[in-house]
Amino acid sequence: MSITITLEFFLYIYLAFIVVWLIFNIVAIYHLLKYGFRNIFTFFAILFIVFCSSALLSISGNFVKQIDWSPEINLLNNSFDI
Amino acid sequence: MFSVHNLPNKLKDEVIIKVIRKDLFIVVQKVLFFILLITLPIIFFYIFILPNETLMNGIASYPLIVLGASAYYLFIWVFFVFSFVDYYLDVWIITSERIIDIEQRGFFSRVVSEHNLSKVQDVTSEVHGFFPTILQYGACHVQTAGAVQRFDFNDVPHPERIRNLIIGLVEKKKEKNMHNEKLSNE
């Protein structure tokens, strides 16, 4: 008996995490916009958060893009080919 | 967006005296913790994972390392952002008429409460510990006769100055109220 899954399965879990991560980032920026003080510091704080979040996401995306997600791994036969 | 020139439910002749946030040392602590969370996995990676060629070249292990590292750093970033939002949006505003406490609790909770200065009964300041004593930050407790009986300013810079400020404002407010009562009796 063997249960094989493609690496894509982990990629989908990761993408689901990215969606949640994006929602949390949007909520943080929404909080700053709605409840933060109307001043230059708030403006630059939001800019910094957006810039760093985009940079992190872009760096992660570059690493993820280079990987071949098609190989299958067998969970039960202990043939988890590392 | 909130403006100090546009207070919620602003009263007539109300003036903002002071806007207080937690001490900057609290931010420094958070940043240091954040740096630690960033550097520890890098050290772990260079010591245990990078020398292991089978892990770095594996069909499944390398993608999983990339996904794990990426998810970890994205999570740390959002954790830091929310720590900052929590610090930045937690404010106490002392006005000539009241004390307003705006508190951000976690991701989706926000509490705004206020006390009229005329209801303040007692103000206490506290400084405990090594760093608070050296850097002069601590707590200031305001006891009132209102529904929410105790107001706590935690980790604020110079709590004794805040106590003196509130006591001074409460006395001024009481004098003003007595003066108004006299005028209305006449």
Q: What is the CATH classification number for the domain harbouring B169?
A: 2.30.29
Total number of domains constituting chain A: 1
Decide if A23 is inside a domain.
Answer: yes
CB pair distance less than 8 Å for A35 and B102? yes
Q: Retrieve residue B105's tokens.
A: 């609790």
Decide if A82 is inside a domain.
Answer: no
* pLDDT average, residue stretch B181-186: 81
Residue A45 dihedral angles phi and psi, to the nearest 5°:
-65, -45
> Considering only CB atoms, which residues of chain A are within 8 Å of chain B?
7, 10-11, 14, 17-18, 21, 24-25, 27-28, 31-38, 42, 45, 49, 52-53, 56-57, 60, 63-64, 67, 69, 71, 73, 80-82
Query: CB count, 10 Å around CB of B89?
Result: 19
**Which residue of A5, A11, A12, A14 to mutate against B (max B Cβ within 10 Å)?**
A14
Write out pLDDT tens, residues B22-73: 999 999 999 999 999 999 999 999 998 888 888 888 888 899 999 999 999 9
The amino acid that residue B173 corresponds to is K
B28-to-B25, B34, B35, B83, B159 alpha-carbon distances in Å: 5, 10, 10, 12, 19
* B174 and B146 share one domain: yes
Q: Are B53 and A82 in contact (CB under 8 A)?
A: no
- Domain span at B57: 28-85
Instruction: Supply the pLDDT for residue A78.
Output: 55
A79 CB neighbours in chain B (<8 A) are: none
CA–CA separation, B16 vs B13, rounded Å?
Answer: 10
* B78 and B100 share one domain: no
Q: Which residues contact A63 (CB under 8 A, 6 or more apart)?
A: B66, B70
Decide if B3 is inside a domain.
Answer: no
Decide if A80 is inside a domain.
Answer: no
Decide if B6 is inside a domain.
Answer: no
* B117 and B56 share one domain: no
Decide if A81 is inside a domain.
Answer: no
Total number of domains constituting chain B: 2
Decide if B97 is inside a domain.
Answer: yes
Confidence of residue B2 (pLDDT cuts 50, 70, 90): low
Write out pLDDT tens, residues A5-38: 888 999 999 999 999 999 999 999 998 888 888 8
> B94: helix, coil or strand?
strand
Instruction: Supply the pLDDT for residue B35.
Output: 96
Decide if A79 is inside a domain.
Answer: no
Query: How far off is chain B from A50, nearest CA to CA, in Å?
Result: 10
Instruction: Supply the pLDDT for residue A43.
Output: 92
* B117 and B175 share one domain: yes
* B179 and B123 share one domain: yes
**Helix axis angle, B61-89 relative to A40-65, nearest 10°?**
170
Query: How far off is chain A from B105, nearest CA to CA, in Å?
Result: 12
* B77 and B99 share one domain: no
Instruction: Supply the pLDDT for residue A44.
Output: 95
DSSP states along A38-71 = SSHHHHHHHHHHHHHHHHHHHHHHHHHHTS----
B31 CB neighbours in chain A (<8 A) are: none
Decide if B70 is inside a domain.
Answer: yes
Instruction: Supply the pLDDT for residue A80.
Output: 47
Decide if B49 is inside a domain.
Answer: yes
Confidence of residue A53 (pLDDT cuts 50, 70, 90): very high
* B99 and B78 share one domain: no
Decide if B165 is inside a domain.
Answer: yes
Write out pLDDT tens, residues B102-158: 888 877 788 888 888 888 888 999 999 999 999 999 999 998 886 666 888 899 999
Decide if B174 is inside a domain.
Answer: yes
CA–CA separation, A3 vs A22, rounded Å?
Answer: 32
